Amino acid sequence: MGNDYKPARIGENRKLDRQTVLLLAVNVLFLTATALSATFLGVYIWKATNDFVVIGWFTLLTHLSAALTFWIAGNGVKEGNKMICLRIGIGVSALFYAIVLLLGKNAFHYIELLGVVQGIANGLFWIAFNVIYFELTNADNRDRFNGLIGVFGSLVGMVVPWCSGVLISSIGGEKGYRLIFLISFVIFIAGMGLSFLVRNRRTDGSYDWFLTPRVLRKPKTPWLPVFAALAGQGVRESVFGLMIGLLVYISTGSERRLGSFTLIVSAVAFIGFYAVGKWLKPVWRSKGMLIGTIVMTAVIVPFFTGVTYTTLLIFGIGASLFFPLFAIPMTSAVFDLIGSNEDSVRQRVEYVVMRELALNAGRIVGMVLFIATLSCSRAPLAIHILLLVTGSAPLLSWRFIRNLLIPQHKQG
């Protein structure tokens, strides 16, 4: 039996079929389990160590192991069964929280182990998910699917961390944390079960282990600016994904307030993703992305007056409202490029691996900058400059990818 993947013709399939909806549901369960605990995992480690650098090393190891996992797992996704890879990724995510439950307050002594396990889990899940997502969508409905992921992700972000904050505050520190880690474990198992309803699509050919360096060496390849753009996105993601929740907790001293903060910014993100997913046309991607990156950078400036709950809210609301203008065009443009010709479609697994390697390269650079900065100085000004430098990286992303934001089938 040959390759099961047949790319849809432009205008052929604007709606999402049952398989795509099931994949979306698996993603929502994965995001729910992650949001329930991940928002507070950094706080849990912080309360045990009071050390940003320890959390930085945990995050760096996560990104390093994720990058290596993407590269290795690409072989299994292409030559094996990508649904098995997806399920193992969810299972290892469940294992991660099982380990945290077993270690309890001693978890921070095993930062290296936890970072590697989480990186493996992320690598396995996202390499499989992104290949399946590419196979189930096309250039016409990709913005809609990405918008729905953002909408549901925002809904999850509104409700779930707020519930976690309430539970931790009501039940009490250690018991509350153990309860949310346990619930995350159960939801991951449920996501694994639901994934059995998504069928595997076979991929022909052998896995090309070294496609990324070979493609990036080609003259005038569009993948070189795309790689740089994705790396810029990763720089911001790693630092802000670690810092913002921690800064809210440090500013307020309350898990409940952190949950409320997440509720507010996720409600704003819901509006942003809904609007962008519904109304942003492919021909508007470049201008929309530029506006999004400018605002995402501008809302960092208030931190220079002091990191307070108010300035964090200004940042959170502004960034959440305009982030969809950055994220949806970026994601759609990259996957449209993968689907732009038959050769790249045949090697879609390798190109998805390249995408993830680019993102993780940026995340690693961002976290190295974070660790280096805080190892030298923990003065507020140093932290503010770090946030501004890493937070403005999406401007470079737009600069690199702007010429590719027009859908390939509408160019020329």
Residues 6 or more apart whose CB falls under 8 angstroms from that of 234 comprise 358, 359, 360, 361, 362, 363, 364, 365, 366
What integer pLDDT is reported at residue 370 of this predicted model?
A: 96
265 located within any domain: yes
Q: In Å, what is the CA distance from 176 to each residue of 164, 180, 347?
A: 8, 6, 46
Express as a percent the part of the chain with pLDDT over 70: 94
Q: Tell me, what amino acid is at 283?
A: V
**137-151, 190-204, 274-288, 394-408: lowest mean pLDDT where?**
137-151
Rg (CA), the chain: 20
264 located within any domain: yes
User: pLDDT-based confidence at 14, cuts 50/70/90?
Assistant: low
What is the CATH number for 216? 1.20.1250.20
3 located within any domain: no
403 located within any domain: yes
SS3 403: helix
Distance CA 211, CA 260 (A): 45
pLDDT digits (tens, 9 = 90+) for 136-183: 877 777 777 877 888 888 888 888 889 888 888 888 778 888 899 999
Q: Tell me, what amino acid is at 167?
A: L
Provide DSSP, 302-319: GGGG---HHHHHHHHHHH
Distance CA 130, CA 77 (A): 11
Q: What angle do CA 265, 266, 268 make, to 5 degrees?
A: 65
pLDDT digits (tens, 9 = 90+) for 192-222: 999 999 887 777 788 899 999 999 999 889 9
4 located within any domain: no
Count of the separate structural domains present in the chain: 1
How many other C-beta atoms can be found within 10 angstroms of the C-beta atom of residue 201?
Answer: 17
Residue pair 32/162 in contact (Cβ under 8 Å)? The answer is no
Q: Where are the alpha helices (DSSP H) in 172-195?
A: 173-194
What integer pLDDT is reported at residue 193 of this predicted model?
A: 93
Distance CA 193, CA 196 (A): 6
Query: Whole-prediction pTM value?
Result: 0.86
2 located within any domain: no
What integer pLDDT is reported at residue 4 of this predicted model?
A: 53
Residues 6 or more apart whose CB falls under 8 angstroms from that of 328 comprise 143, 146, 147, 150, 273, 276, 277, 280
Which string of b and e fits 234-262 if b means at least 16 CB within 10 Å? bbbbbbbebbbbbbbbebbebbbbbbbbb
Distance CA 369, CA 109 (A): 23
Nearest by Cα to 86 from 125, 123, 118, 119? 125
Provide DSSP, 102-169: HHGGGGGGGHHHHHHHHHHHHHHHHHHHHHHHHHH--TTTHHHHHHHHHHHHHHHHHHHHHHHHHHHH
Q: Which domain holds residue 370?
A: 18-200+207-410
CA dihedral over 313, 63, 45, 87, signed as positive or negative: positive
170 located within any domain: yes
7 located within any domain: no
Structural tokens at position 178: 């153990």
Q: Where are the alpha helices (DSSP H) in 280-308?
A: 285-298
pLDDT digits (tens, 9 = 90+) for 304-361: 999 999 999 999 999 999 999 999 888 888 888 888 888 888 888 899 899 999 999 9
What integer pLDDT is reported at residue 148 of this predicted model?
A: 84
Nearest by Cα to 180 from 344, 44, 342? 44
